[in-house]
Amino acid sequence: MNIIEVKDLRKVYSNGYVSTVALDGVSFDVKEGEFLAIVGSSGCGKSTLMHILGLLDRPTSGFYNFGGKNVFEMSDDEAARVRNKKMGFVFQSFNLLPRTSIFNNVKLPLVYGGLSDEKEKEMVLSALESVGLKDKANNFSNQLSGGEQQRAAIARALVNHPAIIFADEPTGNLDSLSGQNVLELLQDLNDDGHTIILVTHEKYTSEMAQRIIEMKDGKIVLDEKVENRKLAKNGLIK
């Protein structure tokens, strides 16, 4: 079953003087449980596409169904709710809250979910356990290494048991070993049934996915299955 259906998606940025076409008629589907990598050079529109898919931004025109629901018909609050319940985000710069414990950082999506304290605690600890940071729950984000911070961010992305995880250059700020750990984590999550969309400009990172979409100038130039998919746990990727 398709979790994402996109047809002829367009996004035009305009500042009143100049219009820039970021997405120029993009169409594809993503199946549930798929691990998709979107690649392309800087400015190709891959980040814009991810933001639209993640309901953080709205397309100018086209058709986008998420989980069987037309995104164009969603209000801002409904979109927020979908992001909260069905989606998880991992960013290049981690985006952890400063002066806040790792526990509370991971809890952040649950704060908007209306669960009981016990349930919240259970979910946070289980998410931290799955990224191997349970013993650092009470540390502050600045007391963690970059790799640990990104793992905490992944715990935050999966704490709500989302259907899909969007990862925007998750290894971009990490050394290769930490990057490998993060990719291994994403592959494990995918094995557990999470759909994953990974945005990257690194070819070897994209080869961790099952399928690659390559973009150029706002258009899809390649959409293919990855032959000889690489597994992060098998060793250094560089």
Tokens representing residue 60 in the block:
């100018």
* Nearest residue (CB) to another protein, 20 versus 176: 20
* Candidate list 77, 118, 135, 227; residue touching another protein; CB under 8 A: 77
Number of residues located near another protein, criterion CB under 8 A: 24
The maximal CA–CA distance of the chain, rounded, in angstroms, is 53
User: Angle, to 10 degrees, between the axis of helix 146-158 and the axis of helix 102-111?
Assistant: 30
81 is a site residue for another protein (CB under 8 A)? yes
3 state DSSP class of 182: helix
12 is a site residue for another protein (CB under 8 A)? no
3 state DSSP class of 178: helix
- Say if strands 35-39 and 195-200 run parallel, antiparallel, or are unpaired: parallel
* Distance between CA atoms of residues 181 and 76, nearest Å: 35
We find the least distance from the C-beta atom of residue 210 to another protein, in angstroms, to be 25
* Nearest residue (CB) to another protein, 194 versus 211: 194
Backbone angles phi, psi at 7, to 5 degrees: -135, 125
* Distance between CA atoms of residues 109 and 132, nearest Å: 19
* Candidate list 14, 19, 70, 80; residue touching another protein; CB under 8 A: 80
* Candidate list 43, 67, 113, 146; residue touching another protein; CB under 8 A: 113
57 is a site residue for another protein (CB under 8 A)? yes
83 is a site residue for another protein (CB under 8 A)? yes
Q: Which residues bind another protein (CB under 8 A)?
A: 51, 54, 56-57, 76-77, 80-81, 83-85, 89, 91, 95, 97, 99-100, 108-109, 111-114, 156
